[in-house]
Amino acid sequence: MKIFVDTAKLGEIKEAFSWGIVDGVTTNPSLIRKAVEEERKVKGKVDLEVYVGEICKAAGKGRPVSLEVLSQKASKMVEEAQTLYRRFNPIVGNVLIKIPINTYTGQEATDYEGLKAINELSRKRIPTNTTLVMTPEQALLAAKAGAAYVSPFAGRVDDYIRKNLGIDFKKNDYFDFELMREISKARLGDYLKNPTAKEIPSLYLDEKIKKAISIGKDKGITSGVDLVRKIVNIFRKYNIKTKVIAASMRNPQQVREVAETGCDIATIPFEVIREMLKHTKTEEGVKKFYADAVQAKYEELLKS
């Protein structure tokens, strides 16, 4: 599985690449705004175009950098995409254009504009990364339209399910969907106690049973990891070439679980990548080895 670092902070991007484990960068307008604001506090004036160009340079050739459009109409998204691609791709040839799968905001019937933009950009040979994917259906449509990548937002799906259940959580908390599954089974067992064949039709329509089955799910999706897994399975069954980027990673355990799905890429915040390195026993071992080395005068072996 490839790793993209999910940040627009140049310092984080350069540091992550220096570790030799990062294969690309994903940004969005919010990340860029935050990064530029922090940069301006240190340096004063910051030229936005120069800054984004530096991100592309820091990633380097062959390591994709995702840049996002702003508009909600297909024609404007295509125009913005062409501008971004023309302006930044020549630097090292690594730009992907992020297009939302659906730009509907409740005011205009624009739910299909993203697909139209993806399809038009595909014909123009401008690679797209479809963002804000929350269902396998959306991922399938994006792939059919010509998306080079789709980004299911695993963390946001977990947040949505927990919020609907009234579960208190912090952003980086792990969502224990296995526990949720057991709760659902237990609840279902309360209603299904050796039903006879005659009772099954009425039980099938029972609203309490339906709620017991659907507890902790979003349209049949049990977690963000489950969302990624289902998309990967669909793409493999139909030999779809679109790459799957597991996005909105919240913690190391979630990264491990999306890696087990066989997805192509996970885009991970810098701090979560750092958390992936940590374990109490690793720290304990380093301290013990160092203390023993000092006592044994091990440093004598290391002198050139």
| CATH class belonging to 2-171+223-279 | alpha beta
Are 51 and 67 within 8 A, CB to CB? Answer: no
Better-scored residue on pLDDT, 85 or 110: 85
List the catalytic residues. 98
CA distances from 242 to 55, 128, 142 (A): 24, 10, 9
Q: Mean of the per-residue pLDDT values for the chain?
A: 92
Spatial CB neighbours of 255, under 8 Å, sequence gap ≥ 6? 246, 249, 266, 268, 272, 276
- pTM of this structure: 0.90
Per-residue pLDDT at 110? 76
- As beta bridge partners, residue 153 has 247
Per-residue pLDDT at 296? 87
Both structure tokens of 164: 């609907």
Q: How many CA atoms within 13 Å lie on the side-chain side of 196?
A: 2
Better-scored residue on pLDDT, 127 or 163: 127
Q: What's the pLDDT band for 49 if we cut at 50, 70, 90?
A: very high
Better-scored residue on pLDDT, 205 or 299: 299
Transcribe 94-113 into DSSP letters: -EEEEEES----SSS--TTH
pLDDT per position as a tens digit, 242-267? 999 999 999 999 999 999 999 999 99
Q: Pinpoint the residues of the chain covered by CATH 3.20.20.70.
A: 2-171+223-279
**How far apart are alpha carbons 128 and 66 in whole angstroms?**
8
Are 76 and 103 within 8 A, CB to CB? Answer: no
Are 1 and 263 within 8 A, CB to CB? Answer: yes
pLDDT of 153 above 80: yes
Per-residue pLDDT at 1? 98
